[in-house]
């Protein structure tokens, strides 16, 4: 039995979120921060955990982190852009230009 997934924010200089199960990293989201805009670069989930909603949970928690800080998002990561597209309540995080470019 696995523990519940847990997202940690590692060292701010590293700029990524880790998704942990039983203490092992099974996923991550990488981003760069420019002022109050987070450029979401990459989302990755270990193959054996794919298709089980872990990526969406990681994206949800990252979006909450960004929102809590008043940051806007540029989702160059295809997975994160798709997450925002399928969760209209989260799409407002994207910058105006990103909403046009990524059809959010």
Closest CA to 45 of 18, 64, 82, 8: 18
What ranges do the domains of the chain cover?
6-98
Average pLDDT over residues 28-32: 91
- The upper half-sphere exposure of residue 87, i.e. CA atoms within 13 Å in the direction of its Cβ, equals 16
Domain 6-98 CATH (choose: 3.30.1490.20, 2.60.40.420, 3.40.630.30, 3.40.50.1780) = 3.40.630.30
Would you say residue 20 has pLDDT above 80?
Answer: yes
pLDDT digits (tens, 9 = 90+) for 33-51: 889 999 999 999 999 999 9
Q: Which two tokens stand for residue 57?
A: 């949970």
């Amino acid at each position: 039995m696995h523990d519940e997934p847990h997202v940690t924010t590692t060292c701010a200089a590293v700029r990524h979120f880790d998704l942990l199960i039983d203490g092992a990293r099974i996923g991550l989201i990488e981003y760069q921060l420019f002022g109050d805009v987070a450029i979401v670069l990459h989302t990755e989930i270990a193959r054996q955990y794919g298709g089980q909603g872990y990526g969406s949970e990681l994206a949800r928690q990252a979006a909450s982190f960004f929102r809590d800080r008043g940051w806007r998002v540029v989702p160059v990561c295809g997975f994160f852009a798709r997450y925002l597209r399928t969760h209209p309540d989260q799409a407002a995080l994207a910058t105006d230009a990103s909403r046009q470019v990524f059809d959010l």
